[in-house]
Chain A
């Protein structure tokens, strides 16, 4: 089975789909601007907020930088998830899913192309924002060093797991479920320890919070910014959780894909 998957795998077909999504991104200037607009607004609001807090005492100064870093990392997760899910929705909106799946493209090749596109879209959003945060607020994300890469990888993997869940639901339930694309990630915001530590949450919510890779990442960020320590234990636990959720995400997607082939959704999407 695994050997069959490897031999059947075609980088050319993945490249074709990445090109297809790239053509789509570059075809619309407003959409290109939109990729940067919302993260820029987030960064501005929280940047000014952190400047206000920074004026009070040293704890607040650290807290304010942590807040800004957390907001920017959170946005990476959100943009990665949106980047993958919206690329899928583009196929639904343009009634193109059937065309894709009667071509030799395999579903897992398509998923990989969606992930690469998500990465491209996130980079288009993130690079200008990181540069502008350094320019406007003197916050240089690269000063945090290699741990930022570990945070990024973990948040991206988590975003892709959420997208697999999201795409699976839309394939199974139809286009009526598309609003989940923008809502799904926000469901985990209150318990991801982005703006406050897990200890702030009611005790009974702790297991749920710790079951999310994002909680490990943001607690790790807090440890790095307050204590100057990179908690490898948190990075590894986030990675292990991500591996688990990615596997579950793929299983769920293929289950929904098979169901869509049984109930005709693959042919009727977008109608």
Chain B
């Protein structure tokens, strides 16, 4: 299996609204791929379909060699997801939350796994604190700990550092990069933070109005558009009228 994600001609429509319009892409094993685009570009819809939370109108999704339309249950134990827009129960402590999810993922020696992750993400002193009483930075680290519980082969991240201060965001990125280098896992990252994308991603998919309008490594895209950084590339593409994906 070369590609961890293989998406073919994927469509999603809500009535007359086309949220995702025939996108095709693949993500090779061990890479970090950025899914970029403005609000309403179709990033979150695409991620929801990859997770199986949302059924595509048409098209095919294969993850870790399995067809998500009928083999989703075989893949779910090997993937995970983190987003500031999806919460964990507020009244449960960090330890309770993580131990519940560890059981759901069939982790053995739950206490050790939770304590190890807590140590790595600097949560050890907070383990007995309810999630609802944490700062946004701490909550993000807990969400990340939850998403790493099963050491996933594929990690999907939706704006993992949104609403974090630069120092906390930097620590999260560093931790994710270390984790990926150590495990060889694959990451699909949706983000509005272009600095983050430049730093973390091997490859970028630019989305606009439900379509992939450009793709390449951050360096390639910066060079191709003649800009200084990904921020400028993003703005260039976002401001183009009727952008369509360039032919390969």
Contacts and interface: CB of A to CB of B under 8 A. Distances in A.
Interface of A: 8, 10, 12-13, 15-17, 19-20, 23-24, 27-28, 90-91, 94-96, 98-106, 258, 261-264, 266-267, 270-271
Query: What is the predominant secondary structure among interface residues of chain B facing chain A?
Result: mixed
B55 A261 contact: yes
Contact of A90 (B52, B76, B89, B100): B89
B52 A94 contact: no
Contacts of B45: 264
Interface in B99-133: 99-101, 103-106, 130
Contacts of A90: 89
Interface residues of B, number: 34
A104 B88 contact: no
Interface stretch (B22-30, B79-87, B211-219): B79-87
Contact of A267 (B54, B79, B93, B103): B54
Query: What is the predominant secondary structure among interface residues of chain A facing chain B?
Result: helix
B89 A96 contact: yes
A241 B40 CA distance: 48
Given A104-B105, A105-B104, A24 B91 contact: yes
Contact of B80 (A100, A102, A258, A262): A102
| Residue among B88, B104, B106 having the largest count of chain A Cβ atoms under 10 Å | B104
Nearest to B104: A103
| Residue among B51, B53, B146 having the largest count of chain A Cβ atoms under 10 Å | B53
Nearest to A4: B73
Contacts of A105: 104
A17 B88 contact: no
A91 B53 CA distance: 15
A94 B104 CA distance: 18
Contacts of A258: 55
11 contacts: A13-B103, A23-B92, A24-B89, A95-B86, A96-B88, A98-B86, A261-B55, A262-B54, A262-B55, A263-B14, A264-B45
